[in-house]
């Protein structure tokens, strides 16, 4: 139920903001707006402001919306109102009205990111967990427990790192841009620092998923190797493990943190999917105990992974990231630009085959993340709304004839040549745009089903 409500609220808000952008600029340009609709299908609510020619409508299917303006191409227009019709407006006004929808979504994203920056958010400190074995981070000399003070493309362009999530975002940008990343790290906050270069430019990045961070080797913040809640009937309970036990070693291998302990548990399966016994050395209330633990194998994709039926790893140390009025707003603008540019870059790479179309997501994935983000709290939900708002704004600016970007493409042609696109070509381009858009939606929906089934 939470997923459905969060999804409907998100769609309704983002669509309303998008259409309001069109509406507000149309009115400012002197165009008569006949209807402002959020959703399609049967009207659930209809109202009209006193003295306004616009009918406002909320419909049953919240998967889109529209602003219907007076236009001679759609219906006959009285001569006395011809100056109020959209098609009679100068080119700059028509372009501004069309561009206002995506612009409203991008401005909303700036406002949402800024609101989070101003209010503050709790995020893990930028302390690294043990890197994945054989990863770029391990090869570069990281061992886990390092505090990351700065990060950037090179020594001359380093910037402070606020949190682990901040570092993760920068790594994502660098990897998808095929750029190396330099980290300035120390064994403790404020301690002697050294530089570590992660050669991300050599990664073959086709999908922006969890496997990307496995290759990089930075998959989570540092946590203590502590056993949390133990589930009845699980391997941990059978071995006599208790919540609060600190694991010092597994089969003689030192366990520096929760990340390494989870990796050792996952690897405790044989080629036929059988569980492999491990000897754990744990600290319990000042006593050191040796316990035999046999993880239970679980199928995950094409491989078997071990599970012990317990929460592994203490909660990471958190830090409050908060910015002042000006800095928070500027960071909101920067984050909106970064997400927009990264989205366009990924779309471009998909077109030329350098990125997988599996990166496309549809309504099912969006609904799933809407519910998950809402369950984590208002801040997570706001950040989700900001991300989807950017995506909606960027998507609508693509030069597909059925989207706002397609209409802007027509106006660019008109501005360069001095004449509008002919009706024949308009119809052909519209049909082609519908085919492309339907193909993209089909791929996105297929990816949704595959993710949820997996």
- pLDDT grade for 354, boundaries at 50, 70 and 90: low
Contact 178, 142 (CB under 8 A): no
The CB density around residue 73, as the number of other CB atoms within 10 Å, is 10
The reply to whether 136-216 and 227-315 are identical in fold is: yes
Instruction: Share the mean pLDDT of the chain.
Output: 87
- pLDDT grade for 219, boundaries at 50, 70 and 90: confident
**pLDDT recorded at residue 272:** 76
| Four-residue CA torsion sign, 428, 430, 433, 438 | negative
Is the pLDDT confidence value at 169 over 60? yes
> Which of 188-197, 204-213, 270-279 bottoms out in mean pLDDT, i.e. has the lowest?
204-213
Summarize the confidence of residues 443-454 as an average pLDDT.
Answer: 64
> What is the separation of C-alpha 131 from the centre of its chain, rounded to a whole number of angstroms?
23
Q: Half-sphere exposure (CA, 13 Å, Cβ side) for 398? A: 21
- Residue among 336, 338, 342 at smallest CA distance from 176: 342
Which residues are CB-neighbours of 126 under 8 A, at least 6 positions away?
147, 148, 149, 161, 162, 163, 164, 166, 167, 221
Specify the higher pLDDT residue, 217 or 375: 217
> What percentage of the chain exceeds 90 in pLDDT?
48
- pLDDT grade for 402, boundaries at 50, 70 and 90: confident
Spell out the domain ranges in the chain: 90-120+324-454, 136-216, 227-315
**pLDDT recorded at residue 255:** 92
- pLDDT grade for 132, boundaries at 50, 70 and 90: confident
**pLDDT recorded at residue 442:** 74
**pLDDT recorded at residue 346:** 79
pLDDT tens string 294-325: 999 988 777 888 999 999 998 899 999 999 99
- Token pair, residue 308, equals 């012990």
SS3 299: strand
Catalytic (active site) residue 354: no
| Active-site residue identified among 19, 55, 123, 146 | 19
The CA angle 443-448-450, to the nearest 5 degrees, is: 95
CATH number of 227-315: 2.30.42.10
CA–CA dist 29, 285 (Å, integer): 73
- Residue among 301, 266, 343, 298 at smallest CA distance from 450: 301
Only one residue has tokens 């042609």, namely 413
**pLDDT recorded at residue 237:** 93
- pLDDT grade for 113, boundaries at 50, 70 and 90: very high
pLDDT tens string 16-37: 999 999 999 999 999 999 999 9
Is the pLDDT confidence value at 258 over 80? yes
**pLDDT recorded at residue 246:** 95
Domain covering 136-216: architecture: Roll (2.30)
CA–CA dist 395, 61 (Å, integer): 20
The CB density around residue 341, as the number of other CB atoms within 10 Å, is 13
**pLDDT recorded at residue 356:** 64
pLDDT tens string 195-211: 999 998 888 766 666 67
CA–CA dist 208, 174 (Å, integer): 12
**pLDDT recorded at residue 160:** 92
Specify the higher pLDDT residue, 395 or 63: 395
**pLDDT recorded at residue 150:** 92
Would you state the torsion angle of the CA atoms of residues 436, 437, 443, 448, taken in this order, to the nearest 10 degrees? Answer: 180
Is the pLDDT confidence value at 175 over 90? no
**pLDDT recorded at residue 452:** 59
Is the pLDDT confidence value at 61 over 80? no
**pLDDT recorded at residue 43:** 83
CA–CA dist 127, 189 (Å, integer): 9
**pLDDT recorded at residue 97:** 95
**pLDDT recorded at residue 84:** 92
User: For 377-422, where are the alpha helices, taking DSSP H only?
Assistant: 378-396, 404-417
Specify the higher pLDDT residue, 358 or 339: 339
Is the pLDDT confidence value at 126 over 80? yes
């Amino acid at each position: 139920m939470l997923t459905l409500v969060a999804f409907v609220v998100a769609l309704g808000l983002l669509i309303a903001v998008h259409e309001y952008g069109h509406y507000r600029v149309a009115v400012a340009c002197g165009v008569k707006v006949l209807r402002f609709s959020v959703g399609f299908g049967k009207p659930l609510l209809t109202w009209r402001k006193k003295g306004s020619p616009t009918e406002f409508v909320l419909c049953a299917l919240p998967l889109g919306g529209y602003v219907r303006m007076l236009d001679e191409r759609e219906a006959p227009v009285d001569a006395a109102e011809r100056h109020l019709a959209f098609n009679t407006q100068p080119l700059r006004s028509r372009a501004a009205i069309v561009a206002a929808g995506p612009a409203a979504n991008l401005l909303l994203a700036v406002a949402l990111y800024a609101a989070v920056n101003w209010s503050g958010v709790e995020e893990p400190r930028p302390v690294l967990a043990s890197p994945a074995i054989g990863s770029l981070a391990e090869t570069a000399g990281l061992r886990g427990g390092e505090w990351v003070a700065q990060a950037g493309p090179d020594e001359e362009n380093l910037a402070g790192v606020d949190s682990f999530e901040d570092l993760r975002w920068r790594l994502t940008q660098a990897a998808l841009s095929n750029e190396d990343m330099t980290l300035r790290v120390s064994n403790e906050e404020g301690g002697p620092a050294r530089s570590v270069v992660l050669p991300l430019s050599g990664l073959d990045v086709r999908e922006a998923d969890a496997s990307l961070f496995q290759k990089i080797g930075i998959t989570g913040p540092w946590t203590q190797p502590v056993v949390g809640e133990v589930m009845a009937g699980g391997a941990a309970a059978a071995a006599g493990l208790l919540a609060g036990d600190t694991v010092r070693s597994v089969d003689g291998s030192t366990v520096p943190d929760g990340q390494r302990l989870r990796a050792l548990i996952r690897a405790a399966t044989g080629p036929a999917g059988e569980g492999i016994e491990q000897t754990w050395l744990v600290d319990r209330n000042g006593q050191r105990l040796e316990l035999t633990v046999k993880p239970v194998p679980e199928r995950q994709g094409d491989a078997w992974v071990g599970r012990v039926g317990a929460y592994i790893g203490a909660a990471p140390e958190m830090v409050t990231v908060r910015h002042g009025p000006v800095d928070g707003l500027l960071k909101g603008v920067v984050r909106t630009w970064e997400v927009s540019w990264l989205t366009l870059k990924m779309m471009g790479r998909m077109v030329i085959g350098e990125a997988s179309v599996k990166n496309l997501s549809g309504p099912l994935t969006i609904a799933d993340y809407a519910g998950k983000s809402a369950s984590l709290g208002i801040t997570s939900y706001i950040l989700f709304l900001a991300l989807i708002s950017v995506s909606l704004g960027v998507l609508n600016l693509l030069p597909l004839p059925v989207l706002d970007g397609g209409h802007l493409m027509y106006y660019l042609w008109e501005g360069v040549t001095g004449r509008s696109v002919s009706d024949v070509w308009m119809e052909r381009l519209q049909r082609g745009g519908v085919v492309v858009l339907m193909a993209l939606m089909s791929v996105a929906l297929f990816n949704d089903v595959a993710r949820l089934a997996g």
